[in-house]
Amino acid sequence: MSQSTLQTAIKEELLSRIKSGHYTEGEKFPTEYALCEEFDVSRTTVRGALNQLTTEGYLVRQQGRGTFVAGKKVRQTLSHTPNNYAAQLAVQGKRGQVSLIDLSVVSANAQLADVFTVDEQAPIQKIERIRHADGEPTQYEVSFIPWQIAPGITKDQAEHSLFQTLAEVHDVHVAKTTEALEIALADERISDLLDCPLGTPCFYIETVTEDASGKTIEYSRSYFRGDKTSFVIERSYA
């Protein structure tokens, strides 16, 4: 068996142990030496498996202390859910928090004019936020909402649910969202905002939100830390 095949097999076995609870959150992980002895492989092979698990967010290294099992990733549901971010986290035993970076009005550029079917230079509200789980930044989001749809969104509203604000304050109701997901590497700004190393793999999602008439009422771009987030997609065939 080649070294790369061995490395993958060991990584999958260790990951299985983490997911099953054999190694628990916050527990110190076995040393490279101990794992070499257990699997009867070289340190290079073990180190490669541990590096993969660290990159994927299942292990964390603490200088001078060793390697530990990371906290569970935040689960985000991409299919229909009535729960907002805080509610989804609460179900997982985590505390959600939203930090507002910027709330401003910008002029629609060509892309935004096309998304919202408005004139270029039309006023668009821009809301930049960071979402936290148990105090740790996991998501950066910038949302755009036309002024004519929901004028004067406040700081307090921006720090809570935008969809709830649209419904309760402006009688604008979400009927459909279309989300496009891809992988992106954290650039300097994203790594700074999400407190992660430059080049960290992130989930990048663009979302277009429509009302029942098919009118676009919100557009957003989000970066989720790949080592702190997992996604669940539910499909119903009933």
Identify the structural domains of the chain with CATH numbers, from first to last: 3-69 (1.10.10.10), 74-232 (3.40.1410.10)
Residue 45: per-residue pLDDT: 93
Residue 73: per-residue pLDDT: 66
- For residue 229, what are the β-bridge partners? 74
Q: Is the C-alpha dihedral spanning 179, 236, 96, 61 positive or negative?
A: negative
Q: Is the C-alpha dihedral spanning 212, 216, 220, 224 positive or negative?
A: positive
Q: State whether residue 118 is helix, strand or coil.
A: coil
Write out pLDDT tens, residues 88-113: 555 455 666 889 999 999 999 988 99
Q: pLDDT under 50 in the chain at which residues?
A: 82-83, 85, 91
Q: Report the C-alpha gap between 130 and 124 in whole angstroms.
A: 20
Residue 86: per-residue pLDDT: 52
Residue 91: per-residue pLDDT: 47
Alpha helices in the chain, H assignment, sequence order: 3-20, 32-39, 43-55, 85-91, 110-116, 155-158, 162-170, 188-193
Token representation of residue 13: 């076995």
Write out pLDDT tens, residues 137-158: 999 999 999 999 999 999 999 9
Token representation of residue 146: 């036309």
Residue 78: per-residue pLDDT: 61
What pTM was computed for the model?
0.69
The separation between the first and the last C-alpha atoms of the chain, rounded to the nearest angstrom, is 45
